[in-house]
Amino acid sequence: DTAVSQTPKYLVTQMGNDKSIKCEQNLGHDTMYWYKQDSKKFLKIMFSYNNKELIINETVPNRFSPKSPDKAHLNLHINSLELGDSAVYFCASSQGFGPRVYYYEQYFGPGTRLTVT
Amino acid sequence: GQQVMQIPQYQHVQEGEDFTTYCNSSTTLSNIQWYKQRPGGHPVFLIQLVKSGEVKKQKRLTFQFGEAKKNSSLHITATQTTDVGTYFCAGPPVEYGNKLVFGAGTILRVKS
């Protein structure tokens, strides 16, 4: 049973297009995240949701819009894709909420490798 | 802004040699977590340290959290080819503990 799943695994698209990545977790966790990992492997948080409520919104261009229809799903929509958006995007989830959430391990999905040409 | 640095960026060792990666934060961390990412894979949680000066072991892996809760280390004894991957430390800053800040990672390659 996959704990955190993402689709698609690979996404190749042209500049200017709009695309979405979907994430689902079956762990019953309250908090979900989107991370971006660049070509140098640097992992940076983009968004965090707790029970469908946006908690963290890092300095991400507003072309990126997360949406959480329920606490098991967190999707990421990207408008007007740019070359610099090419990266691996990881969804993650963890138990807990509030300041204590970071005392819980995060479970990462397999990642979506986005290539913008 | 708060930064978490990791050194070295890259290490290539002979199988059987030891390996250490160091993690240094510019601010005090509430706790520190370590993750391992195999090539082509996703980060997987290894361990968490919470107390100042804490030391934990997992078989050949030894993790330490500094007294000031600003640095940490991961030491692998007698590396094996299965240890290959990128090791990340991550922690929430005490001042604004609303996110995990990840270090840049240390890439470990093991020659057999």
pLDDT tens-place string over residues B51-69: 999 999 999 999 999 999 9
A2-14 average pLDDT score: 95
Contact status, residue B112 vs residue B17, Cβ threshold 8 Å: no
Identify which has the larger pLDDT, B98 or A4.
A4
Are the C-beta atoms of B22 and B111 separated by less than 8 Å? no
Range B21-26, long-range pairs (CB < 8 A, 24+ positions): B21/B73, B21/B74, B21/B87, B21/B89, B21/B106, B21/B108, B22/B71, B22/B72, B22/B73, B23/B71, B23/B72, B23/B73, B23/B74, B23/B89, B23/B103, B24/B70, B24/B71, B25/B70, B25/B71, B25/B91, B25/B93, B25/B101, B26/B2, B26/B70
Chain A nearest-CA residue for B46 = A105
Name which of B42, B102, B104 is nearest A110 (Cβ-Cβ): B42
Round to whole Å and give the CA distance between B57 and B71: 17
pLDDT at position A1 is 65
Quick: pLDDT tens for A89-101: 999 999 977 777 7
Mean pLDDT of chain B: 94
The partner residue sitting opposite A111, judged by closest CB among B42, B48, B90, is B42
pLDDT tier at A38, thresholds 50, 70, 90: very high
pLDDT in tens, B32-51: 999 999 999 999 999 999 99
B28/A contact by beta carbon, under 8 A? no
Q: Which of B37, B50, B100 is most worth mutating to test chain A (most A CB atoms within 10 A of its CB)?
A: B100
- Tokens representing A103 are 């005392």
The answer to whether B3 contacts chain A (CB < 8 Å) is no
CB A67 within 8 A of CB A73: no
The whole-angstrom distance between A16's CA and the closest CA on chain B is 27
